């Protein structure tokens, strides 16, 4: 028979009356044995390919774990635990250590009880053998009757605070959505925006407060000097509080170079450097010539406004019917937001702050906390509100609250952005957050009597006390730390008061998703952001307690470390502006002293920076061990999601404690 021939046989079944058709063809699709035989080789190659991919993945994971463990070992061996200072040995740290010791002891006993199958409801009193088992049974009975109800009461209180704060966030997001949907934004009167006539340009003072800002002083002064405003109607004050003589000389040289180009700029240095930034600004505002100016724009040393900044902000003050407008605040934009994981997570937080909090409060309430920079004040509003005061570390929030109590209104411009940079190291970010969260509690203690006795409406008083201060500055860090870092691991050893799944999973993820919406490109970082926020709660809680009870660390002011990064457009502008002159050429143009002498001073100023290394943070490491201990206890009870949350939260605390996030210093 030919190979491709087919034989068809038809049979008739007597029982079912079906016709059976048999096809004898080796190539027929109805006869798959041949196909299976021919695809066996392909199937083998498919398995080998899958095996190769699995082995590659395992090799990658092994190398990653090996390098991670090597980095951790090196970090522990090189780190100086004394770097964190005596603050790490405060009451909070001692409390965490005691809690950790009890948790480890409890875990050991729970493991013994688990493998011996001790259970209060299954073992009769006469079946108890040994002192350890009797002690464990007594503890179970005492825990169920007395400890669990107390823990349950505290956890319910924190859950209520959590829901109230979540509702506040949800209302703010709805307000932001409404602004976007209706395309609402502050408007400018057509006559007010006409700046063609030089007489329409008001007198503007630009202030650049700085202190030891070696990396960024040049670019901030350069950006301010290029503001598009008539040169005879603007004055730039460089307010230098640096204690480094060489750096002072460099800043003077930068100011002198711009002055030679026709810019109305001057350099100020205080001999008595008290009050930090507030003292610096207060000293500058006391100059006699300030009375000739109507507005003051403030830029911190790392901020680089666009040339049209004043033309986009000043006209809002000239809007008819708005004589009570005291502040116009612009949004921050970050030049290094994609530098590392730490800056990406900070960008999420600050995008929500500006896009949602500042914009909604500015549009619906005409009040928000001044961000301390990238804003323009009406000088009359500053003077009538008492000027800059040195009583707290958040002088910007202080003047905003006092101006609000005096009836001044604020505007936030979400579409006007000013470039700046984010802290790239965990150390710098931690110190910045400590100041930002201790200062508001200091201010609340000081401002509460003035708020209660002010002439503003009851609604505005309630908003200031309950929403602005208590809910967003006190309750948020309190419940974040207490609920997720203390009560949650505690409930693993007291299962009678276990937190429901929606508290530790569903609601936090939903709220984190809302927080991340203003930065849509950061959606892949949703889970790291949630863990990061819980990890930072220990720093924020400690700062809040310090400010509330006036502890020593509440008055700390550490200038946030800058790297002096610039955007691509900034680099091009800088190259175009400075291509014709190097540092030595600038020196040769000075006539006040010889070029060689000044060059020698400049060389001396290039002091090699002190060797730094990453630190170990005790509170974070102690909490990491605590949460990992609780996750091990959760594993014994097969809690599921609780175990995974505690495990990953513990690992995130470990990463922070070992300073493995952000800038890495060799």
Residues serving a catalytic function are 241, 396
| Nearest Cα residue to 602 out of 268, 251, 261 | 251
Spatial distance between the Cα atoms of 558 and 425, rounded to a whole number of angstroms: 14
Residue 421, burial from CB neighbour count under 10 angstroms (0-12, 13-18, 19+): buried
Distance, C-alpha 255 to centroid of its chain = 34
75 CB-near residues (< 8 Å, 6+ apart): 614, 616, 658, 659, 660
Beta strands in 18-98 (DSSP E): 19-24
Q: Do residues 155 and 499 lie in contact, with contact meaning Cβ atoms separated by under 8 Å?
A: yes
**H or E element at residue 330:** strand 325-334
CA distance 32 to 352: 61
Rounded Cα–Cα distance for residues 323 and 317 (Å):
7
| Angle value at C-alpha 365, between 363 and 367, nearest 5 degrees | 95
- Write the CB contacts of 92 (distance below 8 Å, at least 6 apart in sequence): 538, 541, 542, 545, 619
Two tokens, residue 227: 């503001």
CA distances from 414 to 221, 313, 357, 360 (A): 24, 11, 11, 10
The helix (run of H) or strand (run of E) holding residue 604 is: helix 595-605
CA distance 88 to 81: 10
Measured CA to CA in angstroms, residue 228 lies from 7, 232, 278 at distances of 93, 12, 27
210 φ/ψ sector (left φ>0, alpha ψ -120 to 50, else beta) = beta
Pairing of strands 375-378, 295-298: antiparallel
Rounded Cα–Cα distance for residues 609 and 247 (Å):
13
CA dihedral 153, 154, 155, 159 (to 10 degrees): 100
Report the DSSP pairing between strands 295-298 and 409-420.
Answer: unpaired
363 close to 179: Cβ distance less than 8 angstroms: yes
Instruction: Give the C-alpha separation, 558 to 536, whole Å.
Output: 18
Q: Which residue has the tokens 């008595």?
A: 272
> With left for phi above 0 and alpha for psi between -120 and 50, is residue 235 left, alpha or beta?
beta
């Amino acid at each position: 028979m030919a190979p491709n021939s087919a034989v068809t046989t038809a049979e008739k079944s007597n029982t079912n009356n079906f016709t059976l058709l048999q096809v004898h063809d080796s190539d027929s699709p109805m006869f798959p044995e041949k196909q299976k035989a021919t695809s066996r080789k392909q199937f083998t190659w498919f398995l080998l390919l899958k095996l190769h991919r699995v082995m590659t993945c395992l090799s990658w994971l092994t190398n990653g774990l090996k390098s991670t463990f090597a980095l951790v070992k090196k970090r522990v061996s090189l780190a100086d635990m004394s770097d964190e200072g005596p603050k790490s040995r405060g009451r909070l740290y001692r409390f965490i250590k005691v809690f950790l010791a009890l948790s480890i002891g409890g875990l050991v006993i729970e493991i013994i009880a688990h493998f011996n199958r001790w259970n209060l409801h299954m073992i009769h009193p006469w079946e108890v053998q040994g002192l350890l088992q009797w002690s464990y049974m007594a503890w179970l009975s005492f825990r169920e009757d007395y400890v669990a109800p107390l823990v349950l009461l505290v956890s319910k209180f924190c859950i209520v605070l959590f829901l109230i704060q979540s509702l506040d966030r949800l209302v703010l997001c709805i307000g932001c959505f409404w602004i976007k949907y209706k395309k609402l934004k502050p408007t400018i009167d057509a006559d007010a925006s006409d700046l063609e006539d030089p007489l329409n340009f008001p007198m503007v003072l630009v202030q650049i407060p700085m202190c030891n800002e070696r990396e960024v002083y040049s670019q901030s002064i350069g950006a301010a000097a290029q503001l598009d405003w008539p040169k005879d109607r603007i004055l730039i004050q460089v307010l230098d509080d640096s204690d480094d003589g060489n750096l002072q000389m460099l800043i003077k040289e930068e100011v002198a170079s711009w002055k030679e180009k026709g810019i109305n700029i001057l350099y100020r240095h205080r001999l008595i450097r008290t009050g930090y930034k507030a003292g610096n600004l207060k000293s500058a505002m006391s100059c006699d010539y300030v009375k000739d100016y109507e507005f003051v724009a403030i830029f911190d040393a790392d901020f680089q406004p666009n040339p049209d900044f004043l033309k986009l902000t000043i006209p809002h003050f000239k809007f008819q019917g708005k004589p009570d407008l005291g502040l116009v605040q612009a949004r921050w934009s970050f030049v290094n937001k994609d530098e590392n994981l730490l800056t990406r997570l900070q960008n999420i937080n600050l995008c929500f702050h500006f896009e949602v909090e500042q914009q909604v409060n500015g549009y619906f309430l005409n009040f928000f906390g001044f961000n301390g920079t990238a804003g323009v004040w009406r000088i009359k509003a500053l003077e009538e509100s008492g000027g800059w005061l040195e009583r707290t570390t958040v002088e910007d929030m202080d003047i905003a609250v006092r101006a609000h109590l005096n009836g001044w209104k604020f505007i936030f411009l979400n579409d006007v952005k000013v470039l700046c940079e984010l802290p790239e190291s965990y150390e710098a970010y931690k110190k910045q957050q400590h100041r930002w969260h201790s200062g508001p509690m200091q201010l609340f203690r000081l401002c509460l009597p003035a708020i209660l006795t002010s002439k503003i409406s009851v609604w505005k008083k309630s908003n200031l006390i309950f929403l602005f201060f208590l809910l967003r500055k006190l309750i948020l860090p309190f419940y974040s730390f207490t609920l997720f870092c203390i009560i949650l691991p505690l409930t693993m050893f007291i299962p009678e008061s276990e937190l429901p799944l929606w508290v530790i999973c569903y609601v936090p993820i939903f709220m984190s998703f809302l927080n991340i919406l203003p930065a849509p490109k950061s959606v892949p970082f949703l889970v790291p952001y949630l863990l990061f926020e819980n990890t930072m709660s220990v720093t924020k809680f400690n700062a809040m307690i310090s400010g509330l009870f006036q502890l020593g660390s509440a008055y700390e002011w550490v200038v946030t470390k800058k790297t002096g990064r610039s955007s691509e457009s900034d680099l091009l502008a800088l190259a175009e502006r400075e291509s014709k002159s190097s540092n030595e050429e600038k020196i040769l143009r000075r006539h006040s002293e010889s070029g060689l002498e000044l060059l020698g001073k400049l060389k001396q100023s290039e002091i090699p920076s002190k060797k730094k290394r990453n630190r170990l943070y005790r509170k974070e490491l102690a909490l990491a061990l605590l949460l990992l201990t609780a996750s091990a206890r959760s594993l014994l009870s097969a809690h599921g999601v609780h175990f995974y949350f505690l495990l990953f939260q513990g690992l995130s605390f470990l990463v922070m404690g070992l300073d493995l996030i952000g800038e890495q210093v060799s």
